[in-house]
Protein backbone atom coordinates (compact mmCIF):
# COMPACT_ATOMS: atom_id res chain seq x y z
CA UNK A 1 0.00 0.00 0.00
CA UNK A 2 1.39 3.47 -0.87
CA UNK A 3 1.57 6.27 1.73
CA UNK A 4 1.04 9.68 0.08
CA UNK A 5 1.34 13.09 1.74
CA UNK A 6 -1.81 14.74 0.29
CA UNK A 7 -5.19 13.00 0.23
CA UNK A 8 -5.70 10.98 -2.93
CA UNK A 9 -9.33 11.01 -3.96
CA UNK A 10 -11.33 9.77 -6.91
CA UNK A 11 -14.97 10.13 -7.98
CA UNK A 12 -15.91 7.72 -5.21
CA UNK A 13 -13.70 7.94 -2.15
CA UNK A 14 -14.25 5.55 0.72
CA UNK A 15 -12.83 6.24 4.18
CA UNK A 16 -12.03 2.97 5.94
CA UNK A 17 -11.35 -0.42 4.36
CA UNK A 18 -12.96 -2.73 6.94
CA UNK A 19 -15.88 -4.94 5.84
CA UNK A 20 -18.13 -1.91 5.23
CA UNK A 21 -15.59 0.03 3.15
CA UNK A 22 -14.40 -3.00 1.17
CA UNK A 23 -18.03 -3.92 0.45
CA UNK A 24 -18.77 -0.36 -0.69
CA UNK A 25 -15.88 -0.56 -3.15
CA UNK A 26 -17.03 -3.96 -4.41
CA UNK A 27 -20.65 -2.78 -4.73
CA UNK A 28 -19.63 0.34 -6.65
CA UNK A 29 -17.36 -1.48 -9.10
CA UNK A 30 -20.01 -4.16 -9.60
CA UNK A 31 -22.57 -1.47 -10.51
CA UNK A 32 -20.12 0.47 -12.71
CA UNK A 33 -16.86 -1.31 -13.64
CA UNK A 34 -15.47 1.95 -15.09
CA UNK A 35 -15.92 4.00 -11.92
CA UNK A 36 -12.71 5.14 -10.19
CA UNK A 37 -12.85 4.06 -6.55
CA UNK A 38 -10.29 4.91 -3.87
CA UNK A 39 -10.25 3.12 -0.53
CA UNK A 40 -8.41 5.02 2.19
CA UNK A 41 -7.35 3.33 5.42
CA UNK A 42 -5.04 4.48 8.19
CA UNK A 43 -3.84 0.90 8.69
CA UNK A 44 -1.86 -1.54 6.61
CA UNK A 45 -3.57 -4.84 5.84
CA UNK A 46 -3.67 -7.44 7.23
CA UNK A 47 -4.63 -5.70 10.47
CA UNK A 48 -6.34 -6.94 13.62
CA UNK A 49 -9.69 -5.59 14.85
CA UNK A 50 -11.33 -6.34 18.21
CA UNK A 51 -14.22 -8.61 17.31
CA UNK A 52 -15.86 -11.93 18.22
CA UNK A 53 -14.94 -12.96 14.66
CA UNK A 54 -18.40 -14.52 14.17
CA UNK A 55 -19.44 -14.33 10.52
CA UNK A 56 -23.05 -15.15 9.65
CA UNK A 57 -23.58 -17.18 6.46
CA UNK A 58 -25.75 -14.31 5.20
CA UNK A 59 -22.58 -12.26 4.73
CA UNK A 60 -21.41 -14.79 2.15
CA UNK A 61 -24.84 -14.65 0.42
CA UNK A 62 -24.51 -10.88 0.01
CA UNK A 63 -20.98 -11.16 -1.36
CA UNK A 64 -21.98 -13.91 -3.79
CA UNK A 65 -24.56 -11.52 -5.29
CA UNK A 66 -21.68 -9.29 -6.41
CA UNK A 67 -19.50 -12.14 -7.63
CA UNK A 68 -17.29 -12.62 -4.56
CA UNK A 69 -17.34 -16.36 -3.82
CA UNK A 70 -15.20 -18.94 -2.03
CA UNK A 71 -13.95 -16.37 0.50
CA UNK A 72 -14.10 -18.77 3.48
CA UNK A 73 -13.93 -22.14 1.73
CA UNK A 74 -10.80 -23.06 3.67
CA UNK A 75 -12.36 -22.26 7.07
CA UNK A 76 -14.01 -24.79 9.38
CA UNK A 77 -17.74 -23.98 9.72
CA UNK A 78 -19.27 -23.74 13.20
CA UNK A 79 -22.49 -25.71 13.49
CA UNK A 80 -23.59 -25.44 17.14
CA UNK A 81 -24.82 -22.46 19.11
CA UNK A 82 -25.09 -22.78 22.90
CA UNK A 83 -26.88 -20.05 24.86
CA UNK A 84 -27.21 -19.87 28.63
CA UNK A 85 -28.13 -17.61 31.50
CA UNK A 86 -27.48 -19.01 34.97
CA UNK A 87 -29.14 -22.45 35.02
CA UNK A 88 -31.25 -21.92 31.87
CA UNK A 89 -29.68 -23.06 28.63
CA UNK A 90 -30.21 -24.25 25.08
CA UNK A 91 -27.74 -25.90 22.70
CA UNK A 92 -28.78 -26.60 19.13
CA UNK A 93 -27.50 -27.00 15.62
CA UNK A 94 -27.96 -23.80 13.63
CA UNK A 95 -30.08 -23.90 10.47
CA UNK A 96 -26.96 -22.80 8.58
CA UNK A 97 -23.40 -23.04 9.87
CA UNK A 98 -21.57 -19.83 10.71
CA UNK A 99 -17.83 -19.06 10.60
CA UNK A 100 -15.36 -17.73 13.13
CA UNK A 101 -12.62 -15.95 11.22
CA UNK A 102 -9.93 -13.73 12.75
CA UNK A 103 -10.43 -10.25 11.35
CA UNK A 104 -6.78 -10.13 10.30
CA UNK A 105 -7.81 -12.83 7.81
CA UNK A 106 -11.37 -11.82 6.88
CA UNK A 107 -10.70 -8.12 6.35
CA UNK A 108 -7.54 -8.72 4.30
CA UNK A 109 -9.49 -11.06 2.03
CA UNK A 110 -12.28 -8.51 1.60
CA UNK A 111 -9.77 -5.79 0.77
CA UNK A 112 -8.14 -8.11 -1.78
CA UNK A 113 -11.58 -8.72 -3.31
CA UNK A 114 -12.13 -4.95 -3.53
CA UNK A 115 -8.76 -4.50 -5.22
CA UNK A 116 -9.48 -7.39 -7.58
CA UNK A 117 -12.73 -5.59 -8.47
CA UNK A 118 -10.65 -2.55 -9.44
CA UNK A 119 -10.56 -0.31 -6.34
CA UNK A 120 -7.31 1.42 -5.37
CA UNK A 121 -6.22 1.01 -1.74
CA UNK A 122 -4.16 3.83 -0.23
CA UNK A 123 -2.81 4.08 3.31
CA UNK A 124 -4.00 7.42 4.64
CA UNK A 125 -5.60 8.67 7.86
CA UNK A 126 -8.43 11.08 7.09
CA UNK A 127 -8.65 13.91 9.60
CA UNK A 128 -11.40 16.05 8.10
CA UNK A 129 -14.06 15.95 5.41
CA UNK A 130 -12.48 19.03 3.75
CA UNK A 131 -9.67 16.77 2.52
CA UNK A 132 -12.22 14.95 0.38
CA UNK A 133 -13.77 17.92 -1.43
CA UNK A 134 -12.59 16.63 -4.82
CA UNK A 135 -14.57 13.40 -4.52
CA UNK A 136 -18.04 13.37 -6.08
CA UNK A 137 -19.30 10.99 -3.39
CA UNK A 138 -17.71 10.04 -0.05
CA UNK A 139 -18.54 6.90 1.90
CA UNK A 140 -17.69 7.02 5.61
CA UNK A 141 -16.77 3.45 6.56
CA UNK A 142 -14.35 4.46 9.29
CA UNK A 143 -15.80 2.49 12.17
CA UNK A 144 -17.07 3.20 15.65
CA UNK A 145 -15.17 6.48 16.11
CA UNK A 146 -15.90 7.72 12.59
CA UNK A 147 -14.35 11.06 11.65
CA UNK A 148 -16.87 11.31 8.80
CA UNK A 149 -19.86 10.81 11.12
CA UNK A 150 -18.56 13.47 13.50
CA UNK A 151 -17.99 15.90 10.59
CA UNK A 152 -21.62 15.41 9.54
CA UNK A 153 -22.74 16.19 13.09
CA UNK A 154 -24.62 12.91 13.37
CA UNK A 155 -25.07 11.91 17.04
CA UNK A 156 -23.61 8.77 18.58
CA UNK A 157 -26.33 6.39 19.83
CA UNK A 158 -26.13 3.79 22.61
CA UNK A 159 -22.72 2.19 22.88
CA UNK A 160 -21.38 -1.02 24.34
CA UNK A 161 -17.81 -1.86 25.29
CA UNK A 162 -16.32 -5.30 24.77
CA UNK A 163 -13.01 -7.09 25.10
CA UNK A 164 -11.70 -10.01 23.12
CA UNK A 165 -8.81 -12.48 23.48
CA UNK A 166 -7.71 -15.79 22.00
CA UNK A 167 -7.44 -18.95 24.14
CA UNK A 168 -7.12 -22.67 23.47
CA UNK A 169 -10.48 -24.31 22.63
CA UNK A 170 -11.41 -26.96 25.20
CA UNK A 171 -12.00 -30.29 23.36
CA UNK A 172 -15.71 -30.40 24.31
CA UNK A 173 -16.32 -26.94 22.78
CA UNK A 174 -15.07 -27.67 19.27
CA UNK A 175 -17.43 -26.51 16.54
CA UNK A 176 -19.43 -24.42 19.02
CA UNK A 177 -20.27 -20.78 19.52
CA UNK A 178 -21.08 -20.39 23.23
CA UNK A 179 -22.78 -17.34 24.72
CA UNK A 180 -23.42 -16.86 28.46
CA UNK A 181 -25.69 -13.95 29.33
CA UNK A 182 -25.20 -11.94 32.50
CA UNK A 183 -27.04 -13.19 35.55
CA UNK A 184 -29.41 -11.57 38.01
CA UNK A 185 -28.72 -7.89 38.66
CA UNK A 186 -26.82 -7.30 35.41
CA UNK A 187 -28.18 -4.77 32.94
CA UNK A 188 -29.05 -6.83 29.87
CA UNK A 189 -27.98 -7.48 27.25
CA UNK A 190 -24.56 -8.28 28.64
CA UNK A 191 -22.76 -11.44 27.72
CA UNK A 192 -19.58 -13.47 27.53
CA UNK A 193 -18.70 -15.62 24.55
CA UNK A 194 -16.37 -18.36 23.46
CA UNK A 195 -16.37 -18.97 19.70
CA UNK A 196 -14.31 -21.87 18.38
CA UNK A 197 -12.23 -20.76 15.39
CA UNK A 198 -11.73 -24.33 14.22
CA UNK A 199 -7.93 -24.10 14.41
CA UNK A 200 -7.36 -24.99 18.06
CA UNK A 201 -8.08 -21.50 19.36
CA UNK A 202 -11.30 -19.84 20.47
CA UNK A 203 -12.21 -16.18 20.35
CA UNK A 204 -13.29 -15.37 23.92
CA UNK A 205 -14.75 -12.11 25.13
CA UNK A 206 -17.21 -10.13 27.18
CA UNK A 207 -19.23 -7.00 26.48
CA UNK A 208 -21.71 -4.76 28.22
CA UNK A 209 -23.80 -1.69 27.55
CA UNK A 210 -22.25 1.61 28.68
CA UNK A 211 -24.56 3.63 30.89
CA UNK A 212 -24.66 7.43 31.17
CA UNK A 213 -23.21 8.70 34.41
CA UNK A 214 -21.37 5.43 35.16
CA UNK A 215 -17.65 4.96 34.61
CA UNK A 216 -16.79 2.55 31.79
CA UNK A 217 -15.49 -0.81 33.06
CA UNK A 218 -11.72 -1.26 32.97
CA UNK A 219 -10.03 -3.89 30.79
CA UNK A 220 -9.25 -5.94 33.91
CA UNK A 221 -12.91 -5.82 34.97
CA UNK A 222 -14.10 -6.97 31.53
CA UNK A 223 -11.74 -9.96 31.65
CA UNK A 224 -12.89 -10.70 35.21
CA UNK A 225 -16.54 -10.71 34.09
CA UNK A 226 -15.69 -13.07 31.23
CA UNK A 227 -14.10 -15.48 33.67
CA UNK A 228 -17.13 -15.23 36.00
CA UNK A 229 -19.60 -16.07 33.22
CA UNK A 230 -17.48 -18.65 31.39
CA UNK A 231 -15.14 -20.13 34.01
CA UNK A 232 -11.78 -21.23 32.60
CA UNK A 233 -12.22 -19.31 29.34
CA UNK A 234 -9.51 -16.74 30.04
CA UNK A 235 -6.85 -19.36 30.92
CA UNK A 236 -3.84 -19.00 28.59
CA UNK A 237 -5.67 -16.14 26.84
CA UNK A 238 -3.59 -13.75 24.73
CA UNK A 239 -4.11 -10.76 22.41
CA UNK A 240 -6.61 -8.97 24.66
CA UNK A 241 -8.05 -5.93 22.95
CA UNK A 242 -11.16 -3.85 23.59
CA UNK A 243 -13.33 -1.64 21.42
CA UNK A 244 -16.63 0.25 21.41
CA UNK A 245 -19.75 -1.05 19.68
CA UNK A 246 -22.18 1.61 18.36
CA UNK A 247 -25.56 -0.10 18.69
CA UNK A 248 -28.44 0.32 16.27
CA UNK A 249 -31.80 1.81 17.26
CA UNK A 250 -35.24 1.85 15.66
CA UNK A 251 -34.64 5.46 14.59
CA UNK A 252 -31.84 4.72 12.09
CA UNK A 253 -32.14 6.65 8.83
CA UNK A 254 -29.49 7.58 6.26
CA UNK A 255 -29.02 11.27 5.47
CA UNK A 256 -29.48 12.85 2.02
CA UNK A 257 -26.50 14.24 0.16
CA UNK A 258 -23.17 13.08 -1.22
CA UNK A 259 -21.68 11.73 2.02
CA UNK A 260 -22.94 8.30 3.09
CA UNK A 261 -22.29 6.40 6.33
CA UNK A 262 -22.04 2.61 6.47
CA UNK A 263 -21.36 -0.13 9.03
CA UNK A 264 -20.18 0.96 12.48
CA UNK A 265 -19.79 4.55 11.27
CA UNK A 266 -23.57 4.49 10.71
CA UNK A 267 -24.17 3.05 14.22
CA UNK A 268 -25.22 -0.35 12.96
CA UNK A 269 -24.47 -3.10 15.45
CA UNK A 270 -27.21 -5.48 16.58
CA UNK A 271 -28.10 -4.42 20.15
CA UNK A 272 -28.97 -8.00 21.14
CA UNK A 273 -25.89 -9.79 19.91
CA UNK A 274 -23.17 -7.29 19.01
CA UNK A 275 -23.10 -8.56 15.43
CA UNK A 276 -22.10 -5.87 12.95
CA UNK A 277 -20.34 -7.51 10.01
CA UNK A 278 -23.61 -8.39 8.25
CA UNK A 279 -24.85 -4.79 8.46
CA UNK A 280 -21.41 -3.49 7.43
CA UNK A 281 -21.40 -5.58 4.27
CA UNK A 282 -25.10 -5.00 3.51
CA UNK A 283 -24.90 -1.22 3.88
CA UNK A 284 -21.47 -1.07 2.23
CA UNK A 285 -22.72 -2.83 -0.89
CA UNK A 286 -25.86 -0.66 -0.98
CA UNK A 287 -23.87 2.57 -0.56
CA UNK A 288 -21.38 1.58 -3.25
CA UNK A 289 -24.20 0.84 -5.68
CA UNK A 290 -26.06 4.06 -4.80
CA UNK A 291 -22.89 6.12 -5.24
CA UNK A 292 -22.07 4.55 -8.62
CA UNK A 293 -25.59 5.12 -9.91
CA UNK A 294 -25.73 8.72 -8.68
CA UNK A 295 -22.34 9.56 -10.22
CA UNK A 296 -23.33 7.91 -13.53
CA UNK A 297 -26.56 9.95 -13.52
CA UNK A 298 -24.56 13.17 -12.98
CA UNK A 299 -26.33 13.60 -9.63
CA UNK A 300 -23.81 12.91 -6.83
CA UNK A 301 -25.99 14.79 -4.35
CA UNK A 302 -28.69 12.18 -4.99
CA UNK A 303 -26.47 9.38 -3.64
CA UNK A 304 -27.90 9.63 -0.11
CA UNK A 305 -31.48 9.47 -1.41
CA UNK A 306 -30.68 6.36 -3.47
CA UNK A 307 -28.87 4.76 -0.52
CA UNK A 308 -31.83 5.47 1.73
CA UNK A 309 -34.28 3.98 -0.80
CA UNK A 310 -32.15 0.81 -0.99
CA UNK A 311 -31.52 0.29 2.72
CA UNK A 312 -34.91 1.20 4.23
CA UNK A 313 -36.73 -1.91 2.91
CA UNK A 314 -33.67 -3.97 3.82
CA UNK A 315 -33.21 -2.77 7.39
CA UNK A 316 -35.91 -0.46 8.74
CA UNK A 317 -38.39 -3.16 9.86
CA UNK A 318 -35.62 -5.40 11.14
CA UNK A 319 -34.06 -2.60 13.20
CA UNK A 320 -37.43 -1.86 14.82
CA UNK A 321 -37.76 -5.53 15.74
CA UNK A 322 -34.23 -5.82 17.17
CA UNK A 323 -34.75 -2.61 19.16
CA UNK A 324 -37.95 -4.09 20.62
CA UNK A 325 -36.30 -7.46 21.30
CA UNK A 326 -33.30 -5.89 22.97
CA UNK A 327 -35.59 -3.79 25.19
CA UNK A 328 -37.49 -6.95 26.17
CA UNK A 329 -34.23 -8.81 26.81
CA UNK A 330 -33.28 -6.28 29.47
CA UNK A 331 -35.54 -8.37 31.66
CA UNK A 332 -33.82 -11.55 32.79
CA UNK A 333 -37.23 -13.25 32.88
CA UNK A 334 -37.83 -12.54 29.19
CA UNK A 335 -34.33 -13.72 28.32
CA UNK A 336 -34.88 -16.95 30.24
CA UNK A 337 -38.26 -17.40 28.52
CA UNK A 338 -36.52 -17.03 25.13
CA UNK A 339 -33.94 -19.66 26.06
CA UNK A 340 -36.60 -22.08 27.33
CA UNK A 341 -38.79 -21.55 24.25
CA UNK A 342 -35.74 -22.14 21.99
CA UNK A 343 -34.90 -25.32 23.88
CA UNK A 344 -38.43 -26.57 23.26
CA UNK A 345 -38.74 -25.71 19.57
CA UNK A 346 -36.08 -25.60 16.83
CA UNK A 347 -38.17 -23.07 14.85
CA UNK A 348 -38.08 -20.59 17.72
CA UNK A 349 -34.33 -21.11 18.04
CA UNK A 350 -33.88 -20.54 14.29
CA UNK A 351 -35.98 -17.36 14.39
CA UNK A 352 -33.94 -16.02 17.31
CA UNK A 353 -30.68 -16.73 15.48
CA UNK A 354 -31.99 -14.97 12.36
CA UNK A 355 -32.96 -11.92 14.44
CA UNK A 356 -29.55 -11.83 16.09
CA UNK A 357 -27.29 -12.53 13.12
CA UNK A 358 -28.90 -11.05 10.02
CA UNK A 359 -32.19 -9.29 9.26
CA UNK A 360 -34.79 -11.49 10.94
CA UNK A 361 -37.97 -10.28 12.63
CA UNK A 362 -39.87 -11.13 15.77
CA UNK A 363 -41.98 -13.74 13.97
CA UNK A 364 -45.42 -14.84 15.21
CA UNK A 365 -43.85 -18.22 16.12
CA UNK A 366 -41.20 -16.48 18.22
CA UNK A 367 -43.63 -14.03 19.86
CA UNK A 368 -46.15 -16.74 20.81
CA UNK A 369 -43.50 -19.13 22.13
CA UNK A 370 -41.90 -16.32 24.13
CA UNK A 371 -45.23 -15.31 25.67
CA UNK A 372 -46.05 -18.92 26.54
CA UNK A 373 -42.63 -19.52 28.13
CA UNK A 374 -42.85 -16.21 30.00
CA UNK A 375 -46.24 -17.04 31.46
CA UNK A 376 -45.39 -20.65 32.29
CA UNK A 377 -45.26 -21.39 36.06
CA UNK A 378 -41.46 -22.05 36.06
CA UNK A 379 -40.80 -18.41 35.16
CA UNK A 380 -42.78 -16.95 38.07
CA UNK A 381 -39.75 -16.86 40.32
CA UNK A 382 -38.78 -13.21 41.01
CA UNK A 383 -35.74 -12.06 38.95
C1 LIG B 1 -15.23 -7.01 20.96
C2 LIG B 1 -16.16 -7.00 19.76
C3 LIG B 1 -16.76 -8.19 19.34
C4 LIG B 1 -17.55 -8.20 18.17
N5 LIG B 1 -18.01 -9.40 17.71
C6 LIG B 1 -18.63 -9.45 16.52
C7 LIG B 1 -18.95 -10.70 15.93
O8 LIG B 1 -18.64 -11.78 16.45
N9 LIG B 1 -19.59 -10.69 14.74
C10 LIG B 1 -19.95 -9.53 14.10
O11 LIG B 1 -20.58 -9.58 13.03
N12 LIG B 1 -19.62 -8.33 14.64
C13 LIG B 1 -18.95 -8.26 15.80
N14 LIG B 1 -18.56 -7.04 16.30
C15 LIG B 1 -18.86 -5.83 15.53
C16 LIG B 1 -17.90 -5.71 14.34
O17 LIG B 1 -16.57 -5.80 14.77
C18 LIG B 1 -18.14 -4.40 13.59
O19 LIG B 1 -19.52 -4.22 13.42
C20 LIG B 1 -17.45 -4.38 12.24
O21 LIG B 1 -16.06 -4.36 12.38
C22 LIG B 1 -17.89 -3.15 11.43
O23 LIG B 1 -17.14 -3.05 10.26
P24 LIG B 1 -16.77 -1.60 9.67
O25 LIG B 1 -16.11 -1.86 8.36
O26 LIG B 1 -17.97 -0.73 9.74
O27 LIG B 1 -15.74 -0.98 10.71
P28 LIG B 1 -14.27 -1.47 11.10
O29 LIG B 1 -14.17 -2.92 10.96
O30 LIG B 1 -13.99 -0.86 12.42
O31 LIG B 1 -13.34 -0.82 9.99
C32 LIG B 1 -13.10 0.57 9.98
C33 LIG B 1 -11.83 0.83 9.21
O34 LIG B 1 -11.65 2.26 9.11
C35 LIG B 1 -10.29 2.57 9.33
N36 LIG B 1 -10.28 3.95 9.82
C37 LIG B 1 -10.80 4.43 10.97
N38 LIG B 1 -10.63 5.76 11.04
C39 LIG B 1 -10.00 6.13 9.92
C40 LIG B 1 -9.55 7.39 9.41
N41 LIG B 1 -9.75 8.51 10.11
N42 LIG B 1 -8.94 7.42 8.22
C43 LIG B 1 -8.74 6.27 7.51
N44 LIG B 1 -9.13 5.06 7.94
C45 LIG B 1 -9.76 4.99 9.13
C46 LIG B 1 -9.81 1.54 10.33
O47 LIG B 1 -8.40 1.37 10.26
C48 LIG B 1 -10.58 0.29 9.90
O49 LIG B 1 -9.83 -0.49 8.99
C50 LIG B 1 -17.80 -6.99 17.48
C51 LIG B 1 -17.24 -5.79 17.93
C52 LIG B 1 -16.43 -5.79 19.07
C53 LIG B 1 -15.80 -4.50 19.51
Quote the ligand 1 centre to 143 CA distance (angstroms): 5
Residue 94 and residue 80 in contact, taking contact as beta carbons nearer than 8 Å: yes
Quote the ligand 1 centre to 140 CA distance (angstroms): 12
Quote the ligand 1 centre to 306 CA distance (angstroms): 24
- Predicted TM-score (pTM) of this structure: 0.96
Per-residue pLDDT, 382: 41
Quote the ligand 1 centre to 22 CA distance (angstroms): 12
Minimal-distance CA residue to ligand 1 atom 53: 243
End-to-end CA distance of the chain: 54
Residue 246 and residue 144 in contact, taking contact as beta carbons nearer than 8 Å: yes
Quote the ligand 1 centre to 17 CA distance (angstroms): 9
Quote the ligand 1 centre to 144 CA distance (angstroms): 7
Separation CA 313–CA 306 (nearest Å): 12
Quote the ligand 1 centre to 365 CA distance (angstroms): 33
Minimal-distance CA residue to ligand 1 atom 6: 52
Per-residue pLDDT, 6: 82
Residue spans of the chain under pLDDT 70: 1-5, 184-188, 378-383
**In Å, how far from its chain's centre is CA 196?**
18
Atom of ligand 1 nearest to the CA of 147: 41
Minimal-distance CA residue to ligand 1 atom 41: 126
- Contacts for 34 with CB less than 8 Å, ≥ 6 apart: none
Minimal-distance CA residue to ligand 1 atom 4: 51
Whole-number Cα distances in Å, 99 to 76, 77, 251: 7, 5, 30
Quote the ligand 1 centre to 364 CA distance (angstroms): 33
Per-residue pLDDT, 380: 47
- DSSP 8-state symbol, 312: I
| Residues with C-beta less than 6 Å from any ligand 1 atom | 15-21, 40-43, 49-54, 125-126, 141-143, 147, 162, 164, 205, 207, 243, 245, 263-265, 269, 274-278, 280
Neighbours of 193 (CB within 10 A): 25
Q: Which residues of 354-376 are buried (b: 16+ CB within 10 A; e: fewer)?
A: bbbbbbbbbbeebbebbebbbee
With CA atoms as reference, report the closest residue to 275 among 40, 83, 100, 84. Answer: 100
Whole-number Cα distances in Å, 151 to 16, 24, 57, 253, 267: 15, 20, 34, 17, 15
With CA atoms as reference, report the closest residue to 315 among 291, 289, 338, 284. Answer: 284
Task: Return the H-helix or E-strand segment holding 160.
Answer: strand 159-168
Separation CA 162–CA 242 (nearest Å): 5
Per-residue pLDDT, 1: 53
Minimal-distance CA residue to ligand 1 atom 18: 276
Whole-number Cα distances in Å, 26 to 145, 267, 269: 23, 21, 21
Per-residue pLDDT, 188: 65
Minimal-distance CA residue to ligand 1 atom 21: 277
Amino acid sequence: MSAPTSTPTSALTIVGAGPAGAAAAIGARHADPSLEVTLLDRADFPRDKACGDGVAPHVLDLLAEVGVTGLLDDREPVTTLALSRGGTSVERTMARPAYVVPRAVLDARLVEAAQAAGATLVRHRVRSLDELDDAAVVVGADGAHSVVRKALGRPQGPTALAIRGYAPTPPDQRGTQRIAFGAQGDVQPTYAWSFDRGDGLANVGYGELLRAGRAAPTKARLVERLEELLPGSTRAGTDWVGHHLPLSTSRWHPADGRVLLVGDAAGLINPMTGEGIFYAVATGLAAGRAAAEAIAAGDPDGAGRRYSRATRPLLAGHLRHTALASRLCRSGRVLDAGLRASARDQRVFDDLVELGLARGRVTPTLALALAAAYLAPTSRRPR
